[in-house]
Chain A
Amino acid sequence: MTTNSTMDIPAHVPEDRVVDFDYLRPAGVDEDLHLAWKNAQDTLPDIFWTPRNGGHWVVTRADAIKAVQLDHKRFSHARLTIGGPAVREGSVVQMDPPRHGPYRMLVSPAFSPKTIAALEPIVRETTISIVEELRPKGECEFVADFAQILPVVVFLGTVDLPPEDRNYLLPLAEKIIRPRDPQEHQESYTALGEYVARALAARAEQPGSDLLSKIVTAKIGGEPIDFEAAVALSMIVMAGGLDTVASILGFVVRFLALNPGHRQQLIDDPSLVPNAVEELIRRHGLVNTARLITQDTEFQGMRLKEGEQILVPNHLYGLDERQVDNPLVVDFTRPHPEQHYAAFGNGPHRCPGSFLAKLELTVFLQEWLARIPDFVIKPGTTPRMASGSVNTVHELHLAWDTDPR
Chain B
Amino acid sequence: MPKITFIEDDGTEHTVEAGADASVMQAAMDNLVPGIVAECGGYANCATCHVYIDPAWADKLPAPEEAEDVMIEAAFDVRPTSRLSCQVQVTEDTDGLIVRLPASQTGA
Contacts and interface: CB of A to CB of B under 8 A. Distances in A.
A352 B73 CA distance: 16
Given A347-B41, A347-B43, A101 B67 contact: yes
Interface string A99-132: 0010011001100111101000000000000000
A108 B107 contact: no
B67 to A, nearest CB: 5
Given A346-B41, A347-B41, A355-B106, A114 B47 contact: yes
Does more than half of chain B's interface fall in helix, strand or loop, or is it mixed?
loop
A348 B67 contact: no
B74 A350 contact: no
Contact of A108 (B41, B46, B66, B108): B46
Contact of B71 (A105, A117, A346, A347): A105
Contacts of B44: 108
Interface residues of B, number: 21
Contacts of B73: 109
Contact of A112 (B41, B47, B66, B108): B47
Contact of A350 (B40, B71, B106, B108): B40
B40 A113 contact: no
Majority-rule SS of A interface residues: helix
A114 B48 CA distance: 10
B52 to A, nearest CB: 16
B71 A112 contact: yes
Contacts of A275: none
B74 A112 contact: yes
A115 B46 CA distance: 11
Given A109-B73, A109-B74, A113-B76, A355 B39 contact: yes
Contacts of A108: 44-46, 70-71, 74
B37 to A, nearest CB: 8
Interface in B22-37: none
Interface in A106-160: 108-109, 112-115, 117
Nearest to B68: A105
B76 A104 contact: no
Contacts of B39: 350, 354-355
B45 A114 contact: no
Contacts of A112: 46-47, 71, 74-75
Given A113-B105, A114-B107, A355-B106, A105 B66 contact: yes
